[in-house]
Amino acid sequence: AVYTGTTGFTPSRLSAAVVAGRTTKAELLAAFGPTKSVRFDSGYEAWVYQSPAGGGRFSEFVVLVDPSGVVSKTRTRAPSTP
């Protein structure tokens, strides 16, 4: 499912709060709300949180959630053009 997330966060806030191997999907939802996500046949999910960076650009914080519901990896992407 794909959701439109809120923008009440920054990538630095997310990276400080989300710990690979420890943070759960439930904790992500409670802290930052639903966002755009893709579920793969393997059971993994990729969640993308976007934060406005001005000029129509967005920073992104990407979270890979494993089938057991625990964050596996994270990545921050610098602002890109629309």
For residues 22 and 57, give the distance between their C-alpha atoms in angstroms, rounded to a whole number: 30
**Whether pLDDT at 82 is above 60:** no
Cα-based distances in Å from 1 to 21, 31, 34, 37, 45 = 23, 19, 10, 6, 10
- Tell me what the mean pLDDT of segment 41-68 comes to: 90
- Tell me what the mean pLDDT of segment 32-46 comes to: 94
pLDDT band at 6 (very low <50, low <70, confident <90, very high): very low
What pLDDT score was predicted for residue 9? 63
Q: What is the pTM of this model?
A: 0.79
- Tell me what the mean pLDDT of segment 39-63 comes to: 90
Q: Which residues contact 18 (CB under 8 A, 6 or more apart)?
A: 28, 61, 63, 71, 74
What's the distance, CA 5 to chain centroid?
9
Overall residue count recorded for the chain in this entry: 82
